[in-house]
Amino acid sequence: MNWTGKKVLVTGAGGFIGSHLTDRLLELGAHCRAMVRYNSAGSRGWLDEIASQDGRLEVVAGDVCDRDSVARAVQGVDVVFHLAALIGIPYSYEAPASYVRTNVEGTLNVLRVAHEHNVERVVHTSTSEVYGTARYVPIDEEHPLRAQSPYAATKIAADQLALSFERSFRLPVVVVRPFNTYGPRQSARAVIPTIISQCLTGGVVRLGHLTPTRDLNYVADTVEGFLLAAQCAKAVGQVINIGTGTEIAIGDLARKIAGLMGASVDIEFEAQRARPDNSEVERLCASTHRAKELLGWAQRHTLEDGLRRTIEWIRGHSAYYRPCGYAI
């Protein structure tokens, strides 16, 4: 697909992955409408750091829970990248109803309006959390779904809604299922910024359980997966993992980051950071076969390269992080 002049909507564009995706679309020449959640401060999230790109970036405030907001945002666009979601797993234990509203009802609004406006493609964002602890590895797209948090349950529901709209109404939907994306702009609720920010202060790195493994993918590579999914006709109606096919335990990850930073730290378990019993996803490791065969996607950044880039960025933006506190 030639993105030059293409009219694209990104929901959740002010967030971590959404802002990187918006950046990349602008680089490729697209006209990008970026939907951010309304707030009284007028903040556009990470989009506040993005230049206007000759008028090709239009930022609209709204809420995916409000159908009228979605209808105005979708009007006149060719492709919808739906990333708006509540994503903090710990907070989903505290306020599960809000996750249903945003992740399920909000997704339904996007799908219904996209169908009414006959958009060319909807790329819906899933998460590897829907698999729960791996029953086998690598985890392919046929792996059973098992929600181990209210967040994961709402994402399963949203994914199934998206797929049902392709089957029922022929809405051209692709479900992209990123594994653990990391990189610049990620919030302190995620493990890598948590480790890096604590290493910057030295002394002790406090984490939840240290033995679970994660498949870590640098954000630029995840973004390329989204773009390829939007361009591939054979991807319609499919679920596609975006991961690396490798895994690392959280404790080993913390030691690797400390080594890259030259930080002398102790790594300790802190009970308040642990998920409830039976809720911790113990192992995630993606099968990349479908992404490679269908999209021609491949990881371009090694873990060490991605971590170095992320460390450098967080060093320059340390004011965004509170290493002594626990961000849920």
Query: Active-site residues: which are they?
Result: 151
> Six-digit token pair at 85?
């979601």
- Distance CA(157)–CA(36), nearest Å, equals 22
- Distance CA(309)–CA(184), nearest Å, equals 7
**Amino acid at position 50, single letter:** I
> Six-digit token pair at 295?
């999209």
For residue 144, the Cα-to-chain-centroid distance in whole angstroms is 21
What are the DSSP calls for 151-212, one per residue?
Answer: HHHHHHHHHHHHHHHHHHH---EEEEEE-EEE-TT--TTSHHHHHHHHHHH-EEEEES-S--
- Distance CA(180)–CA(306), nearest Å, equals 13
